[in-house]
Amino acid sequence: MIEIPSRLEGKQFQLYHLEEQLKPMGYTIGGGWDYDHGYFDYKIADDVGYQFLRVPFRAVDGQLDSHGTTVELGRPFLLAHKYQRGIDDFADVGNISASFNQFAEPQDPDATVPERYISVGKALVQELERRLLD
């Protein structure tokens, strides 16, 4: 994980309006959200796993599934997950569990971010700052 300091840190936005701005740019709300916090993810690449820019946010009033929720942005960071090749030796193979556990476990869920993506991440953060703050 590589943190990228940003002018976005601590800024507050209506979640709905933030989604309207970020989704057309390629951001999605990551699957790891909860009722009080979540992440906007931008997939940079998928080299033997994937590399992405993650922008954390937390609810400052209400819950994320409520209309009109205001969120505060945290420090963006780059994250890489490296997946193992081949078959996952620990995958469940039962009929029911196989429908949920279709994918290999990460070989390294906090892999080193390749150097070439650091400048890409910084440029993405600058683009976000221009879009949301200027």
In the chain, where do the E strands start and end? 2-3, 12-14, 28-29, 37-45, 49-61, 70-73, 77-83, 106-111
pLDDT confidence of 72, banded at 50, 70, 90?
very high
Question: Are the C-beta atoms of residues 133 and 8 closer than 8 Å to each other?
Answer: yes
pLDDT confidence of 35, banded at 50, 70, 90?
confident
Going from N- to C-terminal start, the domains of the chain cover 1-85+98-130
> How would CATH label the architecture of 1-85+98-130?
2-Layer Sandwich (3.30)
Distance CA 53, CA 93 (A): 33
Question: Are the C-beta atoms of residues 37 and 59 closer than 8 Å to each other?
Answer: yes
Q: Which two tokens stand for residue 31?
A: 């699957």
pLDDT confidence of 66, banded at 50, 70, 90?
confident
pLDDT confidence of 104, banded at 50, 70, 90?
very low
Task: Using DSSP, state whether 128 is helix, strand or coil.
Answer: helix
Question: Are the C-beta atoms of residues 40 and 13 closer than 8 Å to each other?
Answer: no
